[in-house]
Structure 1
Amino acid sequence: MTGIAGVSLAAWLWLLVGQGGFWRTDVRLPRPEAAGAAGGAGAAGAAGAAGPAGAQVWPDVAVVVPARDEAEVIGVSLASLLAQEYPGRAEVFLVDDGSTDGTGDLARALGGQPGALPLTVTSPGEPPAGWTGKLWAVRHGMALAGERTSAEFFLLTDADIAHRPGSLRALVEAAREGGLDMVSQMARLRVQTGWERLIVPAFVYFFAQLYPFRWINRPRGRTAAAAGGCVLLRASAAKTANVPESIRQAVIDDVALARAVKRSGGRIWLGLAERVDSVRPYPDLAELWRMVARSAYAQLRHNPLVLAGTVLGLALIYLVPPVAAVGGAVAGAWPLCVLGAAAWAVMAGTYVPMLRYYGQSPWLAPLLPYTAALYLLMTVDSAVQHYRGRGAAWKGRTYAKPDAAA
């Protein structure tokens, strides 16, 4: 047991210094002067004299919002998009993906307000075999926007995401000044209930541990990921990467999108948001459980061996430290106790920046092993639901493993 605790501590020390600084929360939209120095590396290069920095010509933007049964949140999220003050031409395309709760009607009622961005509400019909509903809606919205506008950028944003004033302008400026083909922000999720405070910051923390933002943002790095709630995508990069057609079966569509763009030579960027917020409530554990479990096994490529390795890894990294610390103290095995306590301390210390980003007390950091145990159970449940034929279920649709799709 002492040896196992030692391995756990060694793993945490490696994560601390060798995993791209995943625990840091200072990866935000690049400052214009810093991005400008790196310009020209993307597919379109720097913005040039007519770019946002010169405030002369701003590119056209088409905002595509896939929405399915979002009546609870669409009033806030869509209103925030329509109210964006953007120096160039921007138009919003809300794609009503078979909603039965009046989402489309509520969206139409928000359009046409004085000073608001133009709004088109459309519906693509049911997705054909081999497409997820969201990506089918995105395809429809991008195609319609391509017919009606000369958009240089698409802003792909979910129906539960609210954009604060200046969000669209900041995204476009970062892309143009930095020569970026895709700019994505991890929306700040809601943390109001006790379960949200316990689960939500850890969700982003675990994501950053799997996909360190600094690694993603390296032009020649192999790591690729995005946050699907807020993605600004250059139209030329979408064409080169053949998206969304090339990722039409992806359940975890944001990571698949980032991989497709980066694989085709595009330059991508991902960071934490300051002006982008999720307004979807997760009032109880059941809602949060479904959020994680619906795609956890897909993240593991539906592979039982990968699932087994993940369970063992989570246990070694997150559960061994508190068990060793407490068990060693009770048994008087002080080397075991010290190793466990040290690993637990490193773990908690790396979690504190994310808690602060979410405005939560750092005293929640020692509870991370408990939260990790919940995520472990969610992951196992995701696999169980998959083998019962209910995997990747979302709003009345269940998606098969990609290679099993028609």
Structure 2
Amino acid sequence: MMLILATLSLLVWLGLAFAHGRFWQAGPMLGPVPRAVRPVAGTWPAVCVVVPARNEAATIEDSIGSLLAQDYPGPYGVVLVDDRSEDGTGALARGLASPHLHVVDGAEPPAGWSGKLWAVAQGTAEVARLMPGTPGTSDAAYILLADADIIHEPAHVATLVMKALRDDLDMVSEMVALSTESRAERALVPAFVYFFQLLYPFARVNQRRSRVAAAAGGTILIRRTALARIGGIESLRGALIDDVALARRVKRSGGGIWLGHSLLARSVRPYPGPADIWRMVARTAYVQLRQSPLLLLATVLGMALVWLVPPAAALFGEGYARLAGLLAWAIATISFLPTLRRFELVPFWALLLPAVAAFYTLAAIGSAVDHHRGRGVVWKQRAYRERISTPP
């Protein structure tokens, strides 16, 4: 049995390494565009940033401040939707007192809406209206959906727009740099990015002929006409994995999308301990599996075959089983190194990848247990107990 399992695991890893969209590579990165190749002044499209924020007092001033400090040559504005915050988020944002900033007091989400998407819907509706003191937002050609815990370098928005214009894209999204300050973050956060790339290889996402579609919710630049074409934010209203749902709809409607890594934006949301990362993963893990016990079982068995069998065979197998286990473990370890280099971490962390994979698998099981115990998904002090998932 060990021989069979080790052989299957090695075959899977050979397929992942050489026939799965080069998921393990560093991936495309979006850096600043030299001024010499930028469009001339007066030709830049209007852009409005929509930021949904719920209880983000710790980060809102730095995040919105970085958006207001953008070096963007065209019409530009920022809409912050205060999503029923209880910590003074809206008041702190208003204190920034910029003519380019409009703060909206969000309403309670209607039935069937996730809180974040309802806030985004209110923000995009505000973009469509003439907002006094916010030049350019009434006719914005692009909307940038940004989380409230992201810090943006001054050239960030211009770089996103340039990418969209140069490649005629309807949507440009980035995986922003994530924090690795704590030991738990260094052990677990790089693997989160690695597993995301395993699920959605960026090279395939960026191919127009491929059906693979995904986005990273921290920063999503979308053409307003593309958003209207898919029915607006309302078409996603029940999605908890809203970024992937949005990418799927845009790509299926014929739009070009791009997903890569940002060199100009970083998240400042901390995850000090393993429990914080567990909650982050468990929030949507079972939703990703369509709240299906069968898909959960298949996932657990698949994770065991891919991540646990190689070290088990290498350490306890004999003969060919041990050799197959060593080879599979080596491929898995080497495939993680580009991700570690991007996070500027030492290769040692790659040896812990099987244990990290086990952690994520247990978090997915915990997500399912929470769902079937009636606890559902809890995020930002809101509970979603009804059966909602990524729209088709």
Aligned length: 379
- Contact 2:32/2:264 (8 A) holds in 1: no
Matched to 1:6, the amino acid is T
Q: Secondary structure at the match of 2:313?
A: helix
Alignment equivalent of 1:317, drawn from 296, 306, 309 = 306
1:290 aligns with 2:279: yes
**Aligned match of 1:106 in 92, 100, 117?**
92
- For the pair 1:206 / 2:195, whether they are aligned, the reply is yes
In the alignment, residue 3 of structure 1 is paired with which amino acid?
A: I
State the secondary structure of the residue aligned to 1:110: coil
Aligned equivalents of 1:183, 1:30: Cα separation in 2: 13
CA distance in 2, matches of 1:108, 1:30: 31
Tell me the amino acid that sits aligned with residue 358 of structure 2: A
Aligned to 1:128: 110
1:29-84 CA-partner distances (Å, limit 9, x unpaired)? 39979xxxxxxxxxxxxxxxxx9434441011010000000011112211111111
Which residue of structure 2 aligns with residue 17 of structure 1? Answer: 18
Aligned pairs for 1:226-375 (under 5 A) are 226-328=215-317, 333-375=318-360
* Structure 2 contact 287–388 (Cα < 8 Å) conserved: no
**CA–CA distance in structure 2, aligned partners of residues 137 and 52 of structure 1:** 33
CA-CA distance at 1:200 after TM superposition:
0.5
What is aligned with 2:383? 398
Distance (whole Å) between structure 1 residues aligned to residue 97 and residue 162 of structure 2: 26
Whether the aligned pair in 1 keeps the contact of 2:42 and 2:74 (CA below 8 Å) is no
Match of 1:73 in 2: 59
Kept in 2: contact 1:52–1:58 (CA 8 A):
no
C-alpha separation in 2, matches of 1:390 and 1:91: 39
Q: 1:150 aligns with which of 114, 124, 139?
A: 139
Contact persistence 1:53–1:177 (CA under 8 A): no
Aligned-pair distance for 1:374? 0.1
Q: Determine if contact 1:156/1:232 at 8 Å carries over to the other structure.
A: yes
Give how far 1:140 is off.
0.4
What is the letter of the counterpart of residue 98 of structure 1? R
In the alignment, what sits opposite 2:134?
A: none
Q: Secondary structure at the match of 1:202?
A: helix
Instruction: List per-residue Cα deviations over 1:294-349 (Å, max 9, x = no partner).
Output: 10000000011000000000000001111111112xxxx13222111111100010
- Structure 1, unpaired ranges of 5+: 34-50
Contact 1:180–1:266 (CA under 8 A) maintained in structure 2? yes
State the secondary structure of the residue aligned to 2:30: coil
Contact kept? 2:63, 2:150, Cα under 8 Å: yes
| Residue aligned with 1:70, SS | coil
Match of 2:76 in 1: 90
Distance 1:165 1:63 in 2: 14
The residue type paired with residue 361 of structure 1 is V
Structure 1 contact 52–176 (Cα < 8 Å) conserved: no
Q: Are the aligned partners of 2:51 and 2:81 in contact in 1 as well (CA < 8 Å)?
A: yes
Q: Which runs of 5+ in 2 are unaligned?
A: 131-137
CA contact (8 A) 1:67 1:97 kept: yes
Distance 1:390 1:165 in 2: 41
How many Å separate the matches in 2 of 1:30 and 1:83?
18
The reply on whether 1:28 has 2:29 as its aligned counterpart is yes
Write out per-residue CA displacement over residues 94-142 of structure 1, whole angstroms, 9 at most, x where no aligned residue.
Answer: 0000000010011111232xxxx71011122100001001000000000
Counterpart-to-counterpart distance in 1, 2:206 and 2:248: 12
- Equivalent residue for 1:161? 150
Range moving further from structure 2, 274-283 or 54-63: 54-63
Q: TM-score, normalised to structure 2's length?
A: 0.94
Distance 1:105 1:65 in 2: 15
SS in 2 for 1:393: strand
Measured in 2, the distance between the counterparts of 1:392 and 1:160 equals 21
After TM superposition, where is structure 1 displaced by more than 2 Å over at least 4 residues in a row? 29-33, 51-56
- Whether the aligned pair in 1 keeps the contact of 2:190 and 2:339 (CA below 8 Å) is yes
3-state SS of paired residue (1:53): coil
Q: 2:171 and 2:15 mapped to 1: Cα distance?
A: 30
CA 1:398–1:300 in 2, change beyond 3 Å: closer, same or farther?
same
Report Cα offsets for 1:155-176 as digits up to 9, x if no partner: 0000011111200000001001
- Give, in whole Å, the separation in 2 of the partners of 1:19 and 1:239: 33
Aligned CA RMSD, in angstroms, stands at 1.6
Matches of 1:120 and 1:345, distance apart in 2: 52
